[in-house]
Chain A
Amino acid sequence: MTPILAGFADILNPVTLLWVAAGVAIGYLVGALPGLGKATAVAIAIPLTFALPALPAIAFLIGIAKGSAAGSAVSAILLNVPGEPSSAPTALDGYPLARQGKAGKALKAALYASVLGDLGSTLALVVLAQPIASYALSITPVEICAVLLFSLTFVAGLSAQSLAKGLVAACLGLLAATVGLEIESGLPRLTFGDYRLFDGIPLIPMAIGMLAVGEMILQAGNRAALDQQGASIAKGAHPDDSRMTRDDWRRSAPAIARGTAIGIGVGILPGLGASVGSFLSYGAARARAKEPERFGTGAIEGVAASESADNAVVPASLIPLFALGIPGSVIAAILIGAFMLHGVAPGPLMFAQQPRLVGGIYAAMIAASLALLLIGMTLQGLFAQVVRVPTRRVVPVVLFLCVIGAWLEGGGVFGVQVMLVFAVLGVVFIKLGFSVVNFLIGFVVGRTFELTFRQSIQILGRDPWNLIHHPIALIFLALTAIAVWRFTRGARSTARKSEET
């Protein structure tokens, strides 16, 4: 234990602290720009760390990951353009709040939720990484498949107006996820002979198109209303509108706690990613809410739920990396490269061979959580000025940023084309009352679900009775059955009620 404690002292070096702060600040800025994701930011920063010693280099990179996970809420709230897909649920309630003149409140809720989710998950990493190692290996694709199936039932919870339309949207999302090379035979599916679709539809251009561009197209028709709204956004009449009140905390605290737990769970399971975490957390918060109809119109707990889970995934995805050497997320996979470059082999041996460095990394991660709070508060004041600019002037700039994001993340012109196609689809969805969020959940979960399902068939030796050896999977399958029964019953009773009235 002592070397780990010695590692904690290493972080007090001002140069190392400076690198942590720099990482968080760069990450926050990159996250706040629409379209640039944390994975790209970390990967591009790796060569910058070639000349650094191991601790500041790793602290810098983890700082970028944490900062951009939090920063992506800024553009989601102010512009309705998620900085990355995992912040899409943040926009659902954050942007309505901003339009009501409560941008300051929403930004603060997002930041506090991010910091708390991040800190909670970092502490979970410190405490759990070693003991959890043996359990993590017993989680096979069979368990993950069951968890994903259960998570798909949240879609029903998110379908407020019509369960049928909600399910149709989710199924279309699943369908979109099947585009690309088939996982087992390598044959192209639904690519129409276009090799650029071989790796599937890129998520970020799709999300930008459906959520941001689609929304702007809808708004473009109504200039007068836009200007009026802009004025009221800028005002923020009451001081309570730009801070978290006691009532806001009361609503948000359970959402943050649940979001952190969901984020940690999603982070530990390999292959799910931050988007699954934030969508699940948002869905869970809505399913638990006393007045679910408030969601989507500016529920502060929706922002808190999404952002806490988004940030909690980042440190938690390092648990399997540190404990077992298994990358649990894209970020973790990229960090393996960085760790190896700095002579550190992530895995159980790291604790035995370089305990001091592990201690240093832990301390740096906690320091990054705190730096995130300070830097976030400082930069937020700056970003919040965006709301003072009339919306009709902001829209062209945002569209430009959307195009850049789609270009960068979607491999050039192809990404922009994908963005435009899905912008049109988004408009059609909204006009017809289909849920864009359900579509995206289906898409995000679809690929991993298919992969783990096919892996499960092989692992179970094509015999369903072998499920007996996977009790965790059985529990989640049972929960799925209960959830489906509850939602269908609920749907029937609402249908009956509407018939009566």
Chain B
Amino acid sequence: MLNTLKAAALIALTAASPALAEWPDRPISLIIGFGPGGQSDLLGRALASVMTEELGVPVNVVNRPGAAGGAALAGLRAMPADGYNIMLNPSQTITLTPALMAQVPFSIDDFAYAGMITSFDIALVAPTSAPFDDYAGMVAYAREHPGILYAALSATTRVFATEIARANDIDIEVLPVDGGPGMINAILGEQALLAYSGGVHHRYPEQMKVIAALTSERNIGSPDVPTINELGLPIGMDMQTVLIAPAGTPEDVIARLEATLAAAAENPGFAEVAESMSAPIQFRTAAEATAEMHRQLAANLAIMQAAGIEPQ
């Protein structure tokens, strides 16, 4: 409700200021740091169609896959800060990569943030047939059955297993999987009893259950399940899709982008796409997004440092 009000206020504000007539006067490129067809791409395309309507110029989706958006961010950083090159990407590429890699070809200060639009219901999930239903049950089961498998998509997602195992003095083995489809396969095929999910589990309500939210706030799609922080292990890491422009982009342009994002958050067409991608809509203004990015980076660095993970 509050978001709705904010969005309405923003639209009213921007509509009232005629000084913004110059931008945009030519097509805008919306860069997506992933290949076509995935969640980021489809959300980006839905956003682009709303933006085209709102801004009155074509907004073209440009796919620049590589390193979970990192390749595209490194490119965006060097582009002119005129608002014609913008990017929609999950926040963790900026707020988590520095905790893992010593040499990152971009930093949080290279960009301006125009707002956030969806969040990820990151969670620890298990197949429905698993012999436990909650976090305590899982820990008890793992104590009796050392070496249960946890499907991890990457080094970052691995951290959750090692930290949960360390905090409870249990043995969890990691099963490396290739992306979301690999995780679905491992859980549906019951090869793994636990898995990291970036939200895709909402598509499989019959086959998967949520053991704990791995975010700092409870998941929007499963508000009854406690977060890992509530369970006594402060390692929840948040992720949102954030609209990014090169640092130095004029403030009035950022304001227009922010207003467009707010409009998209209320757009039924965008809502339909987001719903089908299991991506809950949660609009944040440019100021909120910028603050959230910095908070996330600091929190993630602290978590990784506490876990003894050095950037390589």
Contacts and interface: CB of A to CB of B under 8 A. Distances in A.
A459 B36 contact: no
Contacts of B177: 451, 455
A262 interface: no
A458 B174 contact: yes
Contacts of B65: 199, 411
Interface of A: 39-40, 42-44, 46-47, 50, 137, 139-141, 181, 183-187, 193, 195-196, 198-199, 270-271, 324-327, 330, 333-334, 336-337, 340-341, 343, 345, 347, 349, 411-412, 414, 451, 454-455, 458-459, 461
B124 to A, nearest CB: 18
Please tell me the size bucket of the interface on B.
35 or more
Contacts of A141: 191
A109 B183 CA distance: 39
Interface string B40-52: 0110010001000
13 contacts: A39-B36, A42-B37, A46-B36, A184-B158, A185-B155, A187-B312, A325-B207, A326-B184, A326-B188, A337-B277, A345-B203, A454-B176, A459-B149
Given A43-B35, A325-B184, A455-B177, A340 B203 contact: yes
A300 to B, nearest CB: 35
Given A459-B149, A459-B191, A333 B64 contact: no
B204 interface: yes
Contacts of B137: none
Given A42-B37, A47-B45, A196 B66 contact: yes
Given A324-B188, A459-B149, A461-B147, A184 B70 contact: no
B64 A451 contact: no
Nearest to B278: A340
A36 to B, nearest CB: 12
A270 B181 contact: yes
B221 interface: no
A183 B64 contact: no
Nearest to B187: A326
A418 to B, nearest CB: 12
B37 A39 contact: yes
Contacts of B67: 181, 195-196, 198-199
Contacts of A43: 35-37, 41
B17 interface: no
Interface string B154-189: 111010000000000000011111101110110011
B38 interface: yes
A413 B147 CA distance: 45
A195 B97 CA distance: 12
B216 interface: no
A186 B68 CA distance: 12
Contacts of A349: 206
B149 to A, nearest CB: 6
B276 A411 contact: no
9 smallest beta-carbon distances between A and B, as pairs: A186-B155, A43-B36, A43-B37, A334-B37, A198-B67, A340-B276, A327-B181, A184-B176, A458-B175
Contacts of A455: 175-177, 191
Given A44-B36, A270-B182, 10 more contacts: A39-B37, A184-B155, A195-B70, A195-B74, A325-B184, A330-B37, A334-B38, A345-B203, A412-B75, A458-B174
A418 B213 CA distance: 41
Nearest to A39: B37
A326 B41 contact: no
B64 A46 contact: no
B116 to A, nearest CB: 22
B100 A195 contact: no
B189 A412 contact: no
Contacts of B103: 193
A343 B67 CA distance: 31
Contacts of A324: 188
Contact of B49 (A44, A47, A139, A198): A47
A414 B64 CA distance: 11
Contact of A183 (B42, B176, B206, B312): B176
Interface in B120-173: 147, 149, 154-156, 158, 173
A458 B37 contact: no
A455 B191 CA distance: 10
Contacts of B37: 39, 42-43, 46, 330, 333-334, 337
A198 B175 contact: no
B176 A337 contact: no
B305 to A, nearest CB: 17
A195 B178 contact: no
B229 interface: no
Listed residue (B49, B64, B189, B191) with the most chain A CB atoms within 10 angstroms of its CB: B189
B64 to A, nearest CB: 5
A271 B276 CA distance: 24
B304 interface: no
B71 A198 contact: yes
B66 A40 contact: no
Contacts of B38: 333-334, 337
Contacts of B191: 140-141, 455, 459
B90 to A, nearest CB: 16
Contacts of A137: 188-190
Nearest to A321: B181
A326 B181 contact: yes
